[in-house]
């Protein structure tokens, strides 16, 4: 039970959505993930988990009111233990990146760590929140490209834009919103798809583009029709799962990677959309 609480705190399965960041960065910088560089996706996952834990630690008082079932407010994980876990995961992520890329890996992972902390502890509830959160994923792509950062500016920006869209939508998970929020996010998603397709010679990215449309589109349309908190939460989950489809579009330069990411995106989307045991089917 204790182990499950910690895994829930880390949002362990959601780390699947960050593994493609470094792969995309590596593809665009023509520095393939081989040898020690194969550990870069692990560094991304460790830093992602650290951010998830730190997020819940920072939100523990709010969650006690809005989401009391979460591991910290429910008493399954002590706040001090959560903070220690967040720090340990961050150190492990930075150490892994450093072991792979030396000084460049240390700098790249250090930037991600600082950006994650800035979001969780300072920027989350400000107007800058979506921009800071998108910066975290932008820098994660750069981790895969380091030290050839310029070569990965386009894919990092596209993944950052999709992250910003999800973050904007997630702000209405508890309260719901009016129809303008899903509409704005839909426009941002359209810009993501267009940018990804154009930057990778559309026809090669078309299969992944179709997966992205199927993965994120219906949930956004439902949220536009009925922008309640419950429907928006579903759209946010779909948006997080569709991050892998964005990565797949941007990986079109490496067809095998694109197909692997597209398959993973389909699987995660189906998993996210599967009815819970208590739901009526």
Alpha-carbon distance 204 to 280, whole Å? 40
Considering the chain, what is the average pLDDT of its residues?
Answer: 94
* pLDDT band, very low/low/confident/very high, at 280 (cuts 50, 70, 90): very low
**Residues comprising the chain, all counted:** 281
Respond yes or no on whether the N-terminal peptide bond of residue 147 is cis (omega within 30° of 0): yes
Closest Cα partner for 196 from 142, 138, 167, 154? Answer: 154
In the three-class reduction of DSSP (H, G, I as helix; E, B as strand; rest coil), residue 32 is classed as coil
pTM of structure: 0.94
Joined together, the tokens standing for residue 4 give 């499950």
Backbone φ and ψ of 72, nearest 5°? -75, -55
Q: Does pLDDT of 277 surpass 90?
A: no
Joined together, the tokens standing for residue 5 give 């609480």
Q: Does pLDDT of 281 surpass 50?
A: no
Please compute the mean of the pLDDT values over residues 82-104 and round it to a whole number: 97
Backbone φ and ψ of 173, nearest 5°? -65, -30
Q: Where are the alpha helices (DSSP H) in the chain?
A: 2-10, 19-28, 40-58, 60-66, 79-118, 129-145, 153-170, 180-199, 202-225, 229-241, 243-250, 255-273
Q: Does pLDDT of 137 surpass 50?
A: yes
Per-residue pLDDT of 41-89, as tens digits, reads 999 999 999 999 999 999 999 999 989 999 999 999 999 999 999 999 9
């Amino acid at each position: 039970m204790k182990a499950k609480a910690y895994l829930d705190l880390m949002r362990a399965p959601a780390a699947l959505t960050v593994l493609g960041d470094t792969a995309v960065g590596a593809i665009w910088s023509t520095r393939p993930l081989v040898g020690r560089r194969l550990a870069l996706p692990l560094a991304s996952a460790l830093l992602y988990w650290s951010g998830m834990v730190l997020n819940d630690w920072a939100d523990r008082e709010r969650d006690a009111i809005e989401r009391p079932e979460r591991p910290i407010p429910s008493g399954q994980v002590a706040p001090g233990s959560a903070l220690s876990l967040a720090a340990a995961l961050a150190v492990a992520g930075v150490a892994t990146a450093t072991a792979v890329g030396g000084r460049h890996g240390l700098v790249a992972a250090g930037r991600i760590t600082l950006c994650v902390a800035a979001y969780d502890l300072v920027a989350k509830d400000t107007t800058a929140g979506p921009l800071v959160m998108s910066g975290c994923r932008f820098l994660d792509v750069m981790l895969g490209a380091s030290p050839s950062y310029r070569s990965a500016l386009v894919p990092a920006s596209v993944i950052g834009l999709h992250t910003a869209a999800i973050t904007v939508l997630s702000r209405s998970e508890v309260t719901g919103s009016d129809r303008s929020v899903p509409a704005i996010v839909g426009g941002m998603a359209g810009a993501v798809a267009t940018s990804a397709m154009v930057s990778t010679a559309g026809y090669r990215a078309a299969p992944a583009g179709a997966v992205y449309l199927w993965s994120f589109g219906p949930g956004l349309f439902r949220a536009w029709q009925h922008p309640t908190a419950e429907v928006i939460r579903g759209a946010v989950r779909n948006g997080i799962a569709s991050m892998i489809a964005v990565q797949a579009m941007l990986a079109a330069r490496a067809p095998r990677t694109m197909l692997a990411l597209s398959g993973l995106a389909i699987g995660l989307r189906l998993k996210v959309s599967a009815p819970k045991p208590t739901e009526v089917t």
